[in-house]
Amino acid sequence: MSTAVLKTRLTEFFGIEGPVLLAPMAGVSGGRLAAAVTAAGGLGIIGGGYGDVGWLQRQFDEAQGPRVGVGFITWSLARDPEVLDVALAPRPAAIMLSFGDPMEFADHVHRANIPLTVQVQTLGQARRALDVGAEIIVAQGGEAGGHGMGARSTFTLVPDIVDLVAEQSAKTLVVAAGGVADGRGLAAALALGADGVLVGTRLWASTEALVSPEAQQRAVEASGDDTVRTRVYDIVRQRDWPGKYDLRLVTNPLIEG
């Protein structure tokens, strides 16, 4: 990240230098990666994912002090809601909820006086996020790697949600996600009215990410033309994702077969 300071409502809200948040990629965005993003001037968010308490505590230890947030897969957190208390105990910079109704956890997060971030893929989900008092809404377009719905592109979804938020809750921040990998993507997101960006895949390829070097090399050598949206990966690893969600990944013979 550049040492230049780019001020937006997001940087002012978190007291960071650049309007960049780390996507809380499950099992990938560990403490080292989150700390590195924070140290570079953004905000790192640990990927609490499916709610492994031991793993989450180790990642807080790995972060070694820098201010970081925590993100969860909402439908999975609902199966073991006590994990949220573990995440709230060290006073994270934010709690992010993705892929499910945030209502069950919103009051708990608000009572802890921790900013609530909710990731959405539709206008209906954005309205729900506003209903539960989310301070930040992440508008995730179908270009995103990993899980999503793929129904709307980032380029069309972000301005629609920006307009909705401006009408109903102007103080709420909007962050763009999906296909943002460099300064051009950040500039485009800001032009669409977002207050900053959530970056996943580009940071998935960093040395601090909990990803094998072989997998990273395969992804670096691929292009967007080599990706596909599918549910096969979740079926193979027996992750019981709701049917409306699939994920974008680099294709391989298993998926093609």
Tens digits of residue pLDDT in 12-42: 999 999 999 999 999 999 999 999 999 999 9
Kindly report the CATH number that applies to the domain delimited by 9-204. Answer: 3.20.20.70
Cβ atoms 56, 66 nearer than 8 A: no
- pLDDT at position 64 is 85
Nearest Cα residue to 230 out of 212, 213, 254: 254
Taking all residues of the chain, what is their mean pLDDT, rounded to a whole number? Answer: 93
Tokens 């979740």 belong to residue: 234
Pairing relation of β-strands 95-98 and 44-49? unpaired
Cβ atoms of 209 and 28 closer than 8 Å: yes
> How far, in Å, CA of 164 to CA of 54, rounded?
39
With cut-offs at 50, 70 and 90, classify the pLDDT of residue 239: confident
Domain ranges of the chain: 9-204, 211-257
Angle at 217 between CA 17 and CA 150, to 5 degrees: 65
The model's pLDDT over 240-251, given as tens digits with 9 standing for 90+, comes to: 899 899 999 888
Tokens for 189?
């997101």
φ, ψ of residue 176 to 5 degrees: the values are: -95, 140
Tokens representing 90?
Answer: 């060290």
In the chain, the DSSP E strands lie at 20-22, 44-49, 68-73, 95-98, 116-120, 136-140, 146-148, 173-177, 196-199, 227-230, 246-250
Name the pTM for this structure: 0.93
